[in-house]
Amino acid sequence: MFAAGRRKENLESLSSDCAEGPGSLIPVVTDVTDDASISELFATVQEKGGIDTILNIAGGAMGAESVADAQISDWQWMIETNVMGSLRIIQTFLPMLRDHGAGTILNLTSTAGTVAYEGGGGYNAAKFGQHALTGALRLEEAEHNIRVVEVLPGLVKTEEFALNRMRGDASKAENVYAGVSKPLTAEDVAEVCAYAVNLPHHINLDQIVMRPVKQAAQHKLIRDTE
């Protein structure tokens, strides 16, 4: 099992956490926006016997401005990370999964990829693109017995997502979750992803939309009285 990500310290921590579990986790520092980095990842995986499952979870949002006021560089970063990053990984490893004969690809997208909202244009565009990529891939790879799963989370509270989106403004980041007593957590999403890929291979959970109970829809979020 391999874990690929940009931050060496996070990978080492994850590897340590998994050390006592079944099997071993091999950390590989990887940037999904860099072709050479992905080639190095592929070489490492191939050398150690290959894989049959890919979880594309790299992504993120930057900025909450309107379309009129958005920064082009923010949109470029979001599309490059969310869409092109997934595409690079998929194209690199697809032959390996086809050769295996029963491969799985899971793309972590977002409910922002199905419903647009004010201030979310760039993130919507990126996640709509990743959502469309996933749907096309499922149609194209069924004949190769490759299972394509899409997990679409709603409001997930993590240490970095909103903080990065608000450019380090902790107050604005906290407002995203204000009054929501039980948003989803990263652990919740991980549990759903693990469930989907560990089902018998003939079962394909095409799309799994997951939200906290307080978020009945993209536009309806119940905030508890403080």
Please state, in angstroms and rounded to a whole number, the distance separating the CA atoms of residues 126 and 16. 33
Q: Clarify whether 117 is annotated catalytic.
A: no
Please state, in angstroms and rounded to a whole number, the distance separating the CA atoms of residues 115 and 105. 23
- From the candidates 117, 123, 177, 195, give the one annotated as an active-site residue: 123
Instruction: Give the number of other CB atoms < 10 A from CB of residue 131.
Output: 22
Q: What tokens appear for 6 in the block?
A: 């940009």
CA angle at 90 for the pair 87 and 91, rounded to the nearest 5°: 85
Instruction: Give the number of other CB atoms < 10 A from CB of residue 84.
Output: 17
Please state, in angstroms and rounded to a whole number, the distance separating the CA atoms of residues 224 and 182. 10
Name the DSSP class of 168: T
Amino acid type, 33: T
- Sign (positive or negative) of CA dihedral 16, 187, 94, 128: negative
Q: What tokens appear for 31 in the block?
A: 């940037």
Q: Catalytic amino acids?
A: 123
